[in-house]
Each structure stands twice: as C-alpha cells, then as structure tokens.
Structure 1
Amino acid sequence: MKKLAGKKVALLGSRKIEDISKLVENQGGAAVSRPAQGTLLLKDEKLQDHVEMLTECSFDWIIFTTGIGVETIYQTALEMNRSDALISSLQKANIAVRGYKTANMLKKLNIIPAVRDDDGSMAGLLRELSAYSLKGMKVALQLHGDPAPLLKQWLEDNQAVYEEILPYTHIPPEEKVMSLLLSEILDGKLDSVFFTSTPQVRNLFSFARQKNTEEQLKTCFSEKTVALSVGKVTAQALYEEGIIRVIFPEVERIGSAVIELARYYTEEDI
C-alpha cells in the first residue's frame, strides 16, 4: 500500500498545483487546492520615496528579507534612473539579509551583507543580528507578504527606529476559499495541510482569529491534521502561531516535503 493511501492533503499555494497534486497522488494520497496565498498588487506608491531614501544613505542599517523585494527595489531604481546611485549606497551600508535568494540577488549587484541568517529563518537572522547594537539607529526593513512580528519586536526592544519598505502590497485570499479550508480543518476532513510560504500561514490564522476559532484550529493541528511545511522558514511561521507538530524536509523542496509527509505517516503507522 502506498504511504499516503487514504490521506487528503490541502494545497495552500497558487502555483504548480497540478505538479504538486501529482506528487501527492504518486504516494497514494488525494490533493485538493485551497489557495491561501493572496495576490500581489502593484508596487507600493511609497516605493519611489523609499528608493530615494536608500540612495541618500538615510538609514544606519538596511534589512532585506526577500530576493523579489531586492529585485523590485532595484527595478524601481532603474525606472528612476537611480540604479547606480542605489548600488553605490548599498555597497557602503550595513546590510542584514535573510534567505539565500535574497543574498544571491544582492550578490548579482556586487553587494556583500554584513549580517546573514544562519538557517534561512527570521530567527536565524535575529541570532546573527544580536551581536550588534542598533539602539537609536534608523533601520530600513524590507518586507514582502510576511509581517515579521518577531523581527519588528526585536527592533523595538533594541530601541531601533525602523521604516517598513513594502515593494508590493497584498490582498488577502478569497473569503469563501478560506472559509471552506477552515471548516474542513475544524471538521476533521483534512489529514494534512501543505504550507508553501509564510503568507499562507499568516492568512489562515488571521482568518481563524476573525472567526474566533484560533484555539480550535490549534487543537486540530495538534490532534489530527498534520501541518506540512515546504521548509524551515515556513515551519518557523507555524511555530510562531503555536503549532508544535510541523513536518518539513531538511532541504526546502516541494517533492522532499511530500516524501517527508509520507515517511511521517509510515513511521507513525497512522
């Protein structure tokens, strides 16, 4: 018998759904699409102002958290004919980075960060940043889809003054989809929920709080429904929401996550 036989897995992403469904089906499971990602809107109207601030060295520290965020800021600078000035400014700045995609994008621009996370997560970034004093310093905090509550709290606790830079703004996923997903979890109709990004985590728990079912949701994830994460960064977002049982692969890959879920069910003999 295949390892996911009889298991129903909700896919919360909005990309490559057919491919991921096939991976689940190859293990004997059934996949259903419940897109909880939300969608991107146009670039934030303040972005040009923020690019100008970055080129004028208005910040003591700059924290980049996503590769697409760096790319969008750079493309905006190109449109403003300020790309050379931006790169020159960033090369002189104190820069902290979360994620290999972010670091790779900066590397393409010949920018070397002063601080790099140790494991791809916000918690890993904070561990490395803790060696520095940011008291009274002005910090540019680039975010993308994830409010990063731990990072913002750390900056506040360390008496830093931060400005959020949002290369894109988001709109939440469809309410009818979220309502269906939440009811399926609460009613025990899903064996696993596959999270492939941190916004999916935030969106689900934010919706549950709106419906006053957050504690019920946590109970479901601890007693029946298995939270599956594509990697440790998204897993960290689940931990921050109070979910203790999270399955994820060592290397962040969708196929590896599905195999890890199959292995979990085999070992647990569920």
Structure 2
Amino acid sequence: MRKLAGKRIALLGSRKIEEIGKLVENQGGIAFSRPAQGTTLLKDDKLQDHVRLLIKESFEWIIFTTGIGVETIYQTALDMNEGDALINSLQKANIAARGYKTVNTLKKLDITPSVRDDDGSTAGLIREFSAHSLTGRKVALQLHGDPAPRLKQWLEDNHADYEEILPYTHIPPDENVMNQLLSELLDGKLDSVFFTSTPQVRNLFTFARKKKADTQLKSCLSEQVVALSVGKVTAQALHEEGIERVIFPEAERIGSAVIELARFYN
C-alpha cells in the first residue's frame, strides 16, 4: 500500500509543481497547487549602487545568505566591468555564509568563508558567529526573497553597523489563492502542507494575521495538519512562527521531503 494513500497535500511553491505533484501521487497522495511564494522583483536601479558599495566601502564582514544572491552580485559586477574589483574586496573582508549552495558558489569565486552555519539554518549561522564581536563593525548583509528578521535582529542586538545588499520588491501572492488555502486548512480539508521556501511561511502567517486567524492557523498546523518543509532553513521559519512539529529531510531535497512525509504517515 502506498504510504500517502488519500492524503490531501497542498503545494505552496510556484516552481516544478507538476514534478512535485507526481512525486506525491506516486506515493498515493492527492496534490493541490496553492502558490504562496509571491513574486520577488530585483530593483535593477539599486543593484549597481550596492555593488559599488561592496567594492568601495571596506566592509569588515559580508554575510551571504543565498547562492543566487552571490551569482547576481557577481554577474552585475561583470556587467559593470568591475568583476576583479569585487573579488578583491571580498577577499579582503571576512565572509560569512549560510547554506551549502552559498558556500559552493563562493568557492567558484575562490572565496572561503570565515564563518558558515553548522546546519544550513539562520540559527546555525548565528551560533557560529557568536565567537566574533560585531560591535561597531561595518557589515554588509545580502538578502534574497526573505527579509531574514531573525538575522537582522541579531545584528542590531550585537550593535553591528549593517547595510542590506540586494534590494528586492516583494509582491504578495494572490489573495484569492491565500483565502482558499487558509480556509482549506482551518476547515480540515487538507492533511499536509508542503513549504519549499521561507517566503511561503512568512506569506501564509502574514495573511493569517491580517485575517486575525493566526492563532487558529498555529493550532491547526500544530495538531491537525502536518507541516512539511523542504529543509532546515524553511523548517526554522516555521519554528519561529511557533510550529514545533515540522517534518523535513536531512538533505534539502524535494523528493527526500516527500519520502520523509510518507515515513511519518507510515
């Protein structure tokens, strides 16, 4: 018997939905697309200014949180004919990185982080950073798609003089879809909800708070509906919203997450 037989699972991502749906169906589940990612648009007019800032400002620490963020910054520098200048600045600074994709992307540029997370999460990065004093230090924080409130709060608490790099405009997901998703969750029409990024977590809880239903949502995901996460970083975002029971794989892979959910139900 297939382990997800009859389980109704909402997919909150907006990419590879057919592929993920097929993985769920192969385990006997029923997949519903409920995109909660929203849209993230790069502010191109600001990006070149921020690349110049990285080159000229002599930051003592530069924190990278995503591989795609590193790639975007470097590609922009190349377009500006400032690729070598950027690499030179990065090599002079202390580099901190969250996530294996970020570390691998930096490695391609011959940059080795002084600090990196121990488990792929923001909490892990903060843990490893705790040995360093940031009081009064000039820090650049690269963001992508997620405002990283915990990391920003930690920098403020440690009195760092930080600048956010990579300005994005965040367009929230379709309100009709979010209404449908929230109603299905609270009405018991779903068995599990699959989060594949931290913005999906933020968007769902922000919407629930707007509808004054966040307490009900927290109760729902703690008791009735199983929260499934693609990996530790997204799971951490759910933990920060008060959801303790989160199913996720050791290796951040979509297929591994679906198998983990099947094991949970088995």
Q: TM-score range by the shorter chain?
A: over 0.9
Q: Give 3-state SS (helix, strand or coil) of 1:25's partner.
A: helix
Read off the aligned partner of 1:144 and give its amino acid letter: H
SS of 2:193 mapped into structure 1: strand
Name the SS for the 2:45 alignment partner: coil
In structure 2, what is the equivalent of residue 102 of structure 1? Answer: 102
Structure 2 distance, partners of 1:165, 1:211, is 32
1:224 maps to 224
Q: 1:192 is matched with which residue?
A: 192
Q: Matched residues in 2 for 1:40 and 1:160: separation?
A: 27
Aligned to 1:161: 161
1:259 counterpart = 2:259? yes
Matched, 1:116 2:116: yes
- 8 Å CA contact retained: 1:77, 1:83: yes
* Residues 1-270 of structure 1 mapped to structure 2, 5 A cutoff: 1-166=1-166, 168-266=168-266
Runs of 4+ in 1 over 6 A off after TM superposition: none
Q: Aligned partners of 1:195, 1:139: CA distance in 2, in Å?
A: 30
**Cα pair 2:61 2:137 within 8 Å, conserved:** yes
AA in 1 matched with 2:250: E
Distance (Å, rounded) in 2 between the aligned partners of 1:3 and 1:22: 14
Q: Report how far residue 167 of structure 1 moved.
A: 5.1
**Amino acid in the other structure paired with 1:205:** F
What stretches of structure 2 of length at least 5 have no aligned partner?
none
Q: Specify the SS of the correspondent of 1:37.
A: coil
Could you tell me how far 1:45 is from its partner in structure 2? 2.7
One-letter amino acid matched to 1:174: D
For the 8 Å contact 2:58–2:89, the answer to whether it is kept is no
In 2, Cα distance between equivalents of 1:114 and 1:42: 28
Question: Percent of aligned pairs with the same residue?
Answer: 80
1:149 to partner: Cα distance: 1.4
Deviation, structure 1 residue 82:
0.9
Give the SS at the match of 2:239: helix
- Superposition deviation, residue 41 in structure 1: 1.5
Give the CA deviation at 1:44.
4.4
TM-score between the two structures when normalised by the length of structure 1:
0.96
Instruction: Report the 3-state secondary structure (helix = DSSP H, G, I; strand = E; otherwise coil) of the residue aligned with 1:242.
Output: coil
8 Å contact kept, 1:134–1:159? yes
Matches of 1:116 and 1:179 in 2, distance apart? Answer: 38
Aligned residue-pair number:
266
| Aligned residues of 1:72 and 1:167 also touching (Cα < 8 A) | no
User: Any idea what the Cα deviations from partners look like across 1:12-43, whole Å, max 9, x if unmatched?
Assistant: 11111111111111111100000111123133
User: Is the Cα contact below 8 Å between 1:57 and 1:93 reproduced in 2?
Assistant: no
- State how far apart, in whole Å, the 2-side matches of 1:44 and 1:200 are: 24
- Unaligned residue ranges in structure 1 (runs of 5+): none
Shift of 1:9: 0.1
